[in-house]
Amino acid sequence: MFTALVRSPAMGKNIFRSIVVLAVLAFGAAACGNDGNADGGKPSGNDQAQEPGNLFPAESVNKAVHEGTPVRGGTLTYGLESDVLNVSPNQSVVQPADVQLATAVFDALISFDADGLPITDNRDHAANQLADTLTHSADLKTWTLTLRKGVKFSNGVPLTAQQVVDSTNWVKDSGSCDCSESAKLIASITATGPEKVVYRLSEPVVDWPSKLDRSGLGWISESGARNSAEDPAKPTIEHLVGTGPFKYQSQSRDTYTLVRNTHYYGVDHANDDAKLPYLDKLIFQPLADSTTRLQALQSDAVQIMQTADTANLVQAKKDPKLRVQPAQGSSSTIIGLNLTRPPFGVTATEGEDAQATARRALDDPNALAARQALNYSINRNEINQKEFSGTRNPAYGFLPADSPFYDAGGQLPRFDLTKAKQLVAQVKGAGVTTDLTALCVSAPQATSTFQLVQQQVQAAGFTANLKQVEQAILVQNLLAGSGDIPWNMACFRAPQVADPNGLYNALHSGGPTNFVKYARDDVDAALDQGRRTSGEAARKKLYDKVQRQLAKDVVYVPLLFDYDGNVFRRNVSGLTTPSPTSLGIIRPGNLYYIEG
């Protein structure tokens, strides 16, 4: 698939930092809409078989699995989809394998409910999170967090507000966390009592709760263990002590063994508040090859596994020994269109900066027609069936239909080859080039997917060529401004996110990742107000405005929402609702074997 976020065990940490930046870019850039169509994306033209293959019923997606009578004790081996690069909160923890391992060691300050909303009042202790409450000032710049009482780190040290302050400053000072942009917003953090932490931010941040989930700011590391490391700025895994259900014991080659945290505070609310974790031992086994990983599960060498491989999901569904917890969210494959170069943009005049050029392109009739034609030429259903066995949901906007901020009237129209041909003819008639260069990462599925897209856009009258590059070169050309590759369209993945405030960085005219230089005064105003407004209903009105304006501009064309899954043996249960911020990630402390 088109992606700037390739799950690869061979990539180094510096590349991953670049990928994080680009993933943020991809997130903010994807909420396109229809050209004023209020039908919510009904089929049009000759793309009639538009629904996905429904490999799993919709009611089973993103659902917890808690069945059977739990057995206390035992060892469970978890098959990870890649090698583990890093699990230290002060560094970039971005791979699913890294996040899943870290989630076993660290509980977060804030978690999310089954509807994907942050839990800011947890005084009834309905979730295994470290905060009882999180409140904010009227200007959304001061946030006060109250810790739940009685929580201890796995080494027995009590969790206090000062530990949160010390851990947060450690993360902030590193400058290497994937949360570094959020950390920069902290003007000060103070402990005003044993359980009370006050964050003072440099600007309003309405989605601050989501920053305290699974990230360096949400995972609290015990300072004594950390400072006992040879280099406290880069502690090894044995010096990373958290409040999660398990603690690190040993590593053999690439296998990580964790044991029960006897000090753990969590309970299973679905089983008469039974003390967690059930398991005695949890072993993480990286198995980068998806076929090998599934075979290990089928042979019972591992009992649960991560996968983003559609073939795994198809095969697992057929296997009577296995079950699947399918997970979908906001992450999707995306095509971004260059507003500063024809045909999707216009040519700069002498002395004109890139943003001014892009602003003119938004209302240029030929550039707009070319962008609309590109979208009309994309047959998502064909891509879905041929590349993913019909398992994925087509994406016509950035937010999925189950998001509370989804706007049915803000979705791109569906495939219509007749309209695409008409618009391409209009562009050609005006003397504008329809030759396209797509800039994408070098990856097998990116190539195969582009071949389909190439056929589709050429059927509409475009000429399309693929320029495949390494991650770093892609970042240089799209973000750093140091690349010299002319491109018309770029392909990458939008990441999994929990709040639409993430639109800001890529869609605001002053956004740091606005690589197409998109600029609309009304969009800027709505995005600015969205950062200062609380309340779902009020915020939805603002983001509806953004989506509907983007609908007319068609600067990003999403293809398909990602489809991940946790596959597990039938004698395993206790899978929690997958995280809305990290696709497919579950709390492993709730896992158990079924009695009998």
Tell me 562's DSSP state: E
575 assigned to some structural domain: no
Looking at residue 30, what is its pLDDT?
Answer: 31
> DSSP string covering 12-26, please?
-HHHHHHHHHHHHHH
Considering the domain architecture, whether residues 447 and 539 belong to the same structural domain is answered as yes
- Contact assessment for residue 515 and residue 531, using Cβ atoms and an 8 Å cutoff: no
Supply the pTM of this predicted model.
Answer: 0.81
For 478, the domain range is 13-56+329-562
Last residue of a domain, one of 210, 242, 274: 242
Considering the domain architecture, whether residues 227 and 344 belong to the same structural domain is answered as no
Beta bridge partners of 257: 250, 283
- Contact assessment for residue 476 and residue 6, using Cβ atoms and an 8 Å cutoff: no
Query: Can you tell me whether residue 257 is helix, strand or coil?
Result: strand
Residue (of 130, 242, 148, 141) closest to 198 by Cα position: 141
Considering the domain architecture, whether residues 41 and 163 belong to the same structural domain is answered as no
556 assigned to some structural domain: yes
Tell me, letter by letter, the H, E, C secondary structure of 77-139: EEEECCCCCCCCCCCCCCCHHHHHHHHHHCCECCCECCCCCECCECCCCCCCCCEEEEEECCC
Q: Is the dihedral of CA 135, 139, 141, 142 positive or negative?
A: negative
Residue 229: CATH number of its domain: 3.40.190.10
Considering the domain architecture, whether residues 44 and 115 belong to the same structural domain is answered as no
Looking at residue 446, what is its pLDDT?
Answer: 74
Distance CA 181, CA 218 (A): 14
Last residue of a domain, one of 222, 242, 262: 242
- Beta strand extents in 366-441 (DSSP E only): 435-441
Burial of 493 (0-12, 13-18, 19+ CB in 10 A): buried
**Residues of the chain under the 70 pLDDT cut:** 1-54, 480-481, 495
Looking at residue 194, what is its pLDDT?
Answer: 97
How many domains does the chain fold into? 2
Considering the domain architecture, whether residues 380 and 430 belong to the same structural domain is answered as yes
476 assigned to some structural domain: yes
Residue 456: CATH number of its domain: 3.10.105.10
284 assigned to some structural domain: no
535 assigned to some structural domain: yes
- Contact assessment for residue 105 and residue 120, using Cβ atoms and an 8 Å cutoff: no
Considering the domain architecture, whether residues 414 and 552 belong to the same structural domain is answered as yes
Considering the domain architecture, whether residues 47 and 140 belong to the same structural domain is answered as no
Looking at residue 52, what is its pLDDT?
Answer: 55
Considering the domain architecture, whether residues 456 and 558 belong to the same structural domain is answered as yes
183 assigned to some structural domain: yes
Last residue of a domain, one of 242, 261, 280: 242
- Distance separating the N- and C-terminal Cα atoms of the chain: 42
Considering the domain architecture, whether residues 214 and 356 belong to the same structural domain is answered as no
253 assigned to some structural domain: no
Considering the domain architecture, whether residues 229 and 337 belong to the same structural domain is answered as no
Considering the domain architecture, whether residues 451 and 338 belong to the same structural domain is answered as yes
Considering the domain architecture, whether residues 338 and 457 belong to the same structural domain is answered as yes
- Contact assessment for residue 244 and residue 236, using Cβ atoms and an 8 Å cutoff: no
**Token pair of 508 as six digits:** 């605001």
- Contact assessment for residue 165 and residue 145, using Cβ atoms and an 8 Å cutoff: no
**Token pair of 208 as six digits:** 């601050």
297 assigned to some structural domain: no
| Helices within 461-563 (DSSP H only) | 471-475, 504-507, 521-532, 536-553
